Amino acid sequence: MSSKWRGTQAAKGTVCKTVIRRFESAPRLIPGQFVTIRCGTGTEPLLRRPFAVHRVNREEKSFEILYEIKGEGTRFLSQYEEADDLDILGPLGNGFKIDLNIKNAILVAGGIGIAPLTFLAEELVKEKINVTLILGSKTKLDIPLSAIGYKLLICTEDGSEGTKGLATDLLNEFVRAQNFAPLQIYACGPKAMLKAVAQITNCQVSLEEIMACGVGACLGCAVKTKDGYKMVCKDGPVFNSEDIIW
């Protein structure tokens, strides 16, 4: 088998999905982990690009990434609908922790931050946990999503899709409605949103930093925590929100 090309060039801001096939470590991937991908063979772009695992097919040893076209790296990837000859490093990072005793979970996604949360939602559902996924964004997103077995709430700042407002507004309502019943809360998205979520409630956040090595060797992806600098690639990308110095 060989890679399948999309044939068209995607524009900046477009959301794309690529299936990575024949990845031996696929069965080991857990939600919240990521991979780094070399985008091309030359020196531009130079560094590997990190992407969260969006969905896994363990039997077929494949997984999906979901990403927004930002620059050369993501543009390069967008050429592939399916790929089996890319240089991929992973699984990397710690992944989300799941508490099997807490039967309700809220997942808060900001824009493309949805990528790892769908994988998490699916795993939580398998564990018979009630999942609500809140997806907030500035405006209507063109993301192909199929929420099977869990509830998907969409909100946009301009009201062009779902409720008008912020993801944190919905979260606030939800937390209040729960009335202190135990909840697992997870969030992934822009730093400003994560900070706002962390102010509402303690949760697990998946962070991003510019990465060089992706394996904990360069000390490049530092994030300030109450216990000093931690590395997003190795100690994270998932952290307890209360450990982070926002």
Partner 1 sequence: MVTDLSIELAGIKLKNPVMAASGTFGYGKEYSEFCDLNQIGAIVTKSITLKPKEGNPPPRIAETPSGILNAIGLQSDGVEKFIAKALPFLEKFDVPVIASIAGGSKEEFAELAKILSKSKRIAGLELNISCPNVKKGGMLFGCDPDAAAEVTKAARKATKLPLIVKLSPNVTDITLIAKAVEKAGADALSLINTLLGMAIDINTKKPKLGNITGGLSGPAIRPIAIRMVWQTAQAVKIPIVGMGGIMTAEDAIEFFLAGASAVQVGTGNFVDPKCIIKIIEGLYKAGPDLLTRGDF
Ligand X SMILES: Cc1cc2nc3c(=O)[nH]c(=O)nc-3n(C[C@H](O)[C@H](O)[C@H](O)COP(=O)(O)OP(=O)(O)OC[C@H]3O[C@@H](n4cnc5c(N)ncnc54)[C@H](O)[C@@H]3O)c2cc1C
Ligand Y SMILES: Cc1cc2nc3c(=O)[nH]c(=O)nc-3n(C[C@H](O)[C@H](O)[C@H](O)COP(=O)(O)O)c2cc1C
**Rule CB under 8 A: which residues touch a second copy?**
42-44, 72
| C-alpha triplet 182, 175, 56: angle, nearest 5° | 70
For residues 213 to 242, the per-residue mask of contacts with ligand X, x marking binding by CB under 6 A and - elsewhere, is: ------------------------x-----
User: Is 218 near ligand Y (CB under 6 A)?
Assistant: yes
Buried b (16+ CB within 10 A) or exposed e, 111-142: bbbbbbbbbbbbbbbeeebebbbbbbbeeebe
Q: Which residues between 46 and 75 bind partner 1 (CB under 8 A)?
A: 46-48
159: number of Cβ within 10 Å: 12
230: number of Cβ within 10 Å: 19
**Backbone φ and ψ of 73, nearest 5°:** -65, -50
Q: Which is nearer to ligand FES, 73 or 214 (CB)?
A: 214
Give me the least distance between CB of 158 and ligand Y, in Å please.
41
Give me the least distance between CB of 95 and ligand FES, in Å please.
16
Question: Can you tell me which of 10, 86, 125, 212 binds partner 1, judged by CB under 8 A?
Answer: 212
Question: Can you tell me which of 29, 115, 124, 143 binds ligand X, judged by CB under 6 A?
Answer: 115
Q: Which stretch binds ligand X (CB under 6 A): 138-146, 151-159, 179-187, 209-217?
A: 209-217
H helices of the chain, where? 72-78, 114-126, 167-178, 191-200
Question: Can you tell me which of 30, 86, 147, 222 binds partner 1, judged by CB under 8 A?
Answer: 222
| Contact positions vs ligand FES (CB under 6 A) | 211-214, 216-221, 231, 233-234
